[in-house]
Amino acid sequence: MKQTELPAPAPAAVVRPTTPQQRAARAQRNGGKPTLEFTERVPYDAYVRASTLHRLQEPLSDDPGEMSFLVVSQIMELYFKLTCHELRETQRLLRADRVWDALAPLRRAALHLEGLNAAWKGLRWMTPADFNRFRNLLGEGSGFQSAMYRHLEFLLGLRDPALIRPFRRHTEVYAELTATLAAPSVWDDVLALLARHGHDLPAELLERDVAVEHEPHAAVEAAWVRIYADAGPENHLRLLGEALTEVAEQFGDWRQHHIKAVQRTMGAKVGSGGSAGLAWLQRSMARVVFPELWSARTAM
């Protein structure tokens, strides 16, 4: 089902800043009612690009349920991007030893992941029969091929260089993924931070090839045990550990929701992208984000 074609939006108007005094004067002129006349494009649309967003849905079938599948997928892509943005800001602050400041983007990232998890609720109505009405039209299209999700995994330390191969013919996307894979993950930056704060981490761990997935290390676990032993309010590293734990937990919840959604809509059928589907997703759950933050709890 194709949407009715809408006229192209007018060229983007510059969003003009206003002061509190200007807003108060406008409200007084309007008698407290919202402004209804504009000489250019509606300012909200000039900023949010809502008219552009609403042209990005092009269902492949006449099935009304496909719109839910498509829009929820696009919402998730935006949440992937937003979470990546917060994690990169976290890295910038950690590299500058601004641990307290890094807590804010980490907490925002956890909340964005919570919103991402909530998006699954928009698909809980979908049974195998519902999905099968349009699934074949998707061809080999699969969430496995989400470049932004790969960025998110790489930033969280889940690293498999083979997973960027699907993008080799998309040169810009491939270059961006290659750069993320070659740069330290959030966990790599955390380990470097711990070392700068006096925790004894071996050189081979700090100087390893960051494109290779981190293997859990006893020295990192021991560092977190020591950090958590100090429950004082000035122990910012402990607060960092808790913020990281929340991000890891919310991301783990998203992966679990993904498995449940697959079970609900297609059982153990093979995936559209060529994988074993459910079995492949279940195996991927063995890879843990920020592993020593979890294992250290046994020794606390």
Tokens for 198?
């006096």
258 annotated as ligand-binding: yes
Count of CB atoms situated within 10 Å of the CB of 215: 9
H helices present in 32-156, as ranges: 43-48, 50-53, 66-95, 99-119, 128-132, 147-155
Residue 103 φ then ψ, to 5°: -65, -35
3-state helix, strand, coil in the chain (%, to 5): 65, 0, 35
Q: At what angle do helices 236-266 and 99-119 cross, to 10 degrees?
A: 10
d(CA 249, CA 82): 17
d(CA 252, CA 298): 19
Residue 149 φ then ψ, to 5°: -65, -35
Count of CB atoms situated within 10 Å of the CB of 58: 9
Tokens for 142?
């699969």
170 annotated as ligand-binding: no
d(CA 282, CA 262): 11
Sequence ranges of the binding site for heme: 258
Question: Binding site, residues?
Answer: 135, 258
Binding site, annotated residues for substrate = 135
